[in-house]
Amino acid sequence: MQTNSTIELLKKHDLLRVIDEELDIYLEIPHVAYVEVKSPDSKALLFTNAVDRKSGKKFDAPILMNVFCSPKVVELLIGDGDAIGARIEELLHMKPPSGFMDKLSMFGTLFNLKSVFPKKLSKKGECQEVIKLGHDAKLSDLPVLTTWEQDAGAFITMGQVYTKSLDGNLSNLGMYRLQVHDDHTLGMHWQIHKDSNHFFHEYKKAGKKMPVSVGIGGDPLYIWCGQAPLPIGVFELMLYGFIRGKNAELVKCITNDLYVPRDVDYVMEGFVDVENLRIEGPFGDHTGYYTLDEEYPFMEVTAITHKKNPIFAATVVGKPPLEDKYMGHATERIFLPLLKTTAPDLLDYYMPENGVYHNLILAKIKTLYPGHAQQVMHAFWGVGQMSFVKHAIFVGEDAPALTDHEALTEHILNRIDIDDLMLSRGVVDALDHSSNKFGVGGKLGIDCTGELVQKSEIDLLEDAVLYAKMRAITDEVIELKQYFTNTNTPLCVISVDKRRTQKELFADLTLLLEHIKVLIVVDAKNNYLDNPYMLIWRVVNNIDANRDFHFAHKSLCIDATNKNAMDGFTRRWPDDVSCTPSVIEALKRKGVIAIDAAFERKFLL
């Protein structure tokens, strides 16, 4: 499925909005996409009149964004995730044939797997209709977007990064942000756990430059496969062949020996100098925070090839919800059978988008014995990308559907025993900003698979009464709201004007803990206590369970404020990713977006 075919499919199902208004690649186009993806009837966007006002350049290539804009689109472009998962489960449980008909059936199944392996073509592809080499290969000829004010520059956000191992036996397709340093240099944000980073160290040890090629566009399934959590060493285009039922067709690059899909719209070829690094970032990332500037490898561009009439694909990241909400749901469904091979008693799992995936996982298991949930938690924390999950909550098979947020939350709060929480420590995602040490932080496991816990022996007060008592102790408390007071573990959330470590605040509020079971503290700035969706986003982003959980008088106090030197936090704490108000207002005046103050407040725009 080429990009033009994708556009026609989207048009056919009324899932594409074409924007002919002249808009800038600096902030304007990304801000429109950021607003669109948060709308309940979100559509893909095709920008036909992109400009760079800073340089005065106009681009012929349209920009396609928000392509994975809804569950319906994901099903159109990828397929039914449950059905694909069932096919994988069938393969995993295939038994030796017992008779002639079984043999025929197995032969048919295995014969269909021939489409899994990518096919290398001997001819050039559509992606090489136009070839620019050396000095003529300029990244500024592409409409690469700058999304946020604090971004270090323009970033390619939907690039398919193709690499291979030093011995050529392993190939990899990954999806990473790529900073345009200048016309001929592209930053490689390779996180420490990615295959491409492992390959990089092989080339570095051998003292050889590493070939890299970046594709843009083509079948949207390439992008989804690039972010799929496959085991190390499995080429992601094999998953493409399995889902599509046909081989990915690859062509050799012009200036290096890598192969890329023939039908992508753009290819950037080059080599990474393994001896040198360059500052990359900051960048407003999918966590909703800026990831800070750090040293990363960079690619020296040797060629840019593209179709005669290319379309530039991009995405936007920031605070949820984003289009990875819909991509992530497909990932959950398709990879559930593989996860069950590690945790056989796993029934289902769900990673809510406001938990930005690695920060929160909900799982349902068939509990067979005491400690079973904790055993599965350890299994999760030891397998692939699941090892980066910070907070895991497990429920039993009698729990409501994991996506029934209200009912599930009540079920969990009726079964939490705060004296029996599992606090651990381990690897966290490289994008995590809350841990005291890069890449290593606190883990929280909550076992809610058992019976109802005893109702809390606390004297619940009305919000206004409890707030007045807090204010009588300190004027740092700005606002208070209680949630789920009907459950055995009610929640009390307060916002504060932070002037000291929250340990001291908790000590001052000790006498009030007879009225509180779980107290959660957030900063007053940029938080609204009547917005639970974004409060969950904030809390799971901001806490390290080893540092920020404080137990007193059978109550739990959680510090979800931004950390600083008062807390002994020595790393830099990044800013929230937020839209530029003047850009939002300009887009409103042009009639490109139509949102009100309530929308902006709801999503902390």
Q: Which residues contact 257 (CB under 8 A, 6 or more apart)?
A: 211
Q: Give the chain's radius of gyration (CA, Å).
A: 25
Q: Give the confidence band of 413 by pLDDT, cuts at 50, 70, 90.
A: very high
237-259: average pLDDT: 93
Helix (H, G, I), strand (E, B) or coil at 168: coil
SS (H, E, C) 559-596: ECCCCCHHHCCCCCCCCECCCCHHHHHHHHHCCCCCCC
Q: How far is the C-alpha of 151 from the C-alpha of 159, rounded, in Å?
A: 17
> Is the pLDDT at 321 greater than 90, yes or no?
yes
Measured at the alpha carbon of residue 254, what is the angle toward residues 203 and 117, in degrees to the nearest 5? Answer: 70
Yes or no: say if 88 and 330 are a contact pair by the CB < 8 Å rule.
Answer: no
Burial of 210 (0-12, 13-18, 19+ CB in 10 A): buried
Element (H, E) at 469: helix 463-473
Of 237, 356, 326, 331, nearest to 44 by C-alpha is 326
Residue percentage of the chain with pLDDT more than 70:
95
**What are the residues facing 269 on neighbouring strands?**
213, 303
Q: Kindly report, residue by residue over 97-124, the tens digit of the pLDDT.
A: 455 444 434 344 444 577 788 999 999 9
Residue percentage of the chain with pLDDT more than 90:
73
> Is the pLDDT at 96 greater than 60, yes or no?
no
> Is the pLDDT at 177 greater than 90, yes or no?
yes
Query: Phi, psi at residue 412, to the nearest 5°?
Result: -65, -50
Q: Kindly report, residue by residue over 53-69, the tens digit of the pLDDT.
A: 999 999 999 999 999 99
Average predicted confidence (pLDDT) for the chain: 91
Model pLDDT, residue 301 = 98
- In the chain the domains, ranked by start, together with CATH numbers, are 3-77+117-314 (2.30.110.10), 324-448 (3.40.1670.10), 463-567 (3.40.1670.10)
182-187: average pLDDT: 96
DSSP state of 248: P
Q: Which residue's structure tokens are 């970046």?
A: 214
Q: Kindly report, residue by residue over 419-470, the tens digit of the pLDDT.
A: 889 998 988 888 899 999 988 999 999 999 988 887 778 899 999 999 999 9
Tell me, yes or no, if the pTM score tops 0.85.
Answer: yes
Active-site positions? 285
Model pLDDT, residue 494 = 98
Yes or no: say if 482 and 529 are a contact pair by the CB < 8 Å rule.
Answer: no
* H-assigned helices in 78-213: 81-92, 100-112, 195-206
245-258: average pLDDT: 95
Q: How far is the C-alpha of 221 from the C-alpha of 158, rounded, in Å?
A: 12
> Is the pLDDT at 92 greater than 70, yes or no?
no
Q: Kindly report, residue by residue over 20-79, the tens digit of the pLDDT.
A: 999 999 999 999 999 999 998 999 999 999 999 999 999 999 999 999 999 899 899 988
User: In terms of residues, how long is the chain?
Assistant: 605
Helix (H, G, I), strand (E, B) or coil at 261: strand
Yes or no: say if 225 and 237 are a contact pair by the CB < 8 Å rule.
Answer: yes
Cα dihedral 552, 554, 555, 559, rounded to 10, equals 40
Q: Kindly report, residue by residue over 558-588, the tens digit of the pLDDT.
A: 999 999 999 999 999 999 999 999 999 999 9
Query: Phi, psi at residue 362, to the nearest 5°?
Result: -110, 135
Model pLDDT, residue 104 = 39
Q: Give the confidence band of 192 by pLDDT, cuts at 50, 70, 90.
A: low
